[in-house]
Structure 1
Amino acid sequence: MTTILASRPEIPGEDFSRVAMTDETLELLQKLRGIHGDLMFHLSGGCCDGSMPMCYPAGDFRTGAQDVLLGTFELPATDALPTAEIGFWVGKPHFSYIRGSHITLEVVDGRGAGFSVETPEGKRFIMRSTLLPS
């Protein structure tokens, strides 16, 4: 696993990235952007697919006061696509549980349930967590 892209911090007062992605994740996201346009991530928490990061076309999942923007990725331009930003949101109740963790987004083979846009590609996003330094 090689982490290649860290998110921009979005929580007021923080100057460190809470979310990063691997090169395989970036590659799949660039492909998915070409299919679906702008994207976003949401992690709701809870059991089953709620504990997996879900990727949606931007605006297809409505965020609100019960969601926290952990970070924003700036995806580089490609020959076919301009630079784009992808927010990574988490449900506020789940944020209190993962507050001390750094998340790395990875891609694995397999199909998850739900409406995440990578499912038809035979892939799924997962997260690996490590503790943030105290």
Structure 2
Amino acid sequence: MKRLDVTPAAAEVIERLKKEHGELVFNQSGGCCDGTAPMCYEKGDFYVPSRNVKLGEICGCEFFIDKDQFEYFKHSFITIDVREEKAAFGNSFSLEIDLGYQFITKSRIFTDEEYKQLLEEEK
């Protein structure tokens, strides 16, 4: 059991970005300038704050989230998807914007059985 996954469409965009930029890292933004969205950076271009926790990996890329946000999402399965977002061109630091896309977060609550299994596996 894992905490997050990625849609095929988002995986395709991630693979395109990896070919162009090399290793990537994701951070679930907590708001402010970039809103609450998954942000994609070249691995060496993003400093992971000490208050962030690793939620998992998508397409071989580490995915981090702020500890406070994790408290909100800890009972949720997160799916990273992508949508065409031509209007956002240049409006974000996230790499996919230059391709005309924006990563988005979808979530659902784990079932009791899933959450129990997840906690057992994380021990």
Q: TM-score range by the shorter chain?
A: 0.7 to 0.9
How many residues align? The count is: 109
Unaligned runs of 5+ in 2: 113-123
* 1:5-84 equivalence runs, <5 A: 16-46=1-31, 49-73=34-58, 75=59
Per the normalisation by structure 2, the TM-score is 0.81
- Which residue is 1:91 aligned to? 66
Runs of 4+ in 1 over 3 A off after TM superposition: none
Structure 1 vs Structure 2 CA RMSD: 1.5
Q: Distance between the aligned counterparts of 1:72 and 1:122, measured in 2?
A: 23
Unaligned runs of 5+ in 1: 1-15, 76-84
Shift of 1:47: 5.1
* Higher strand residue share: 1
Comparing both chains, which one has the higher relative contact order based on Cα–Cα distances under 8 Å and sequence gaps of 6 or more? 2
Shift of 1:71: 0.3
Are 2:88 and 1:107 aligned? no
Name the % identity: 37
User: Is contact 1:70–1:90 with CA below 8 Å preserved after alignment?
Assistant: yes
Shift of 1:109: 0.7
Q: Distance between the aligned counterparts of 2:44 and 2:66, measured in 1?
A: 16
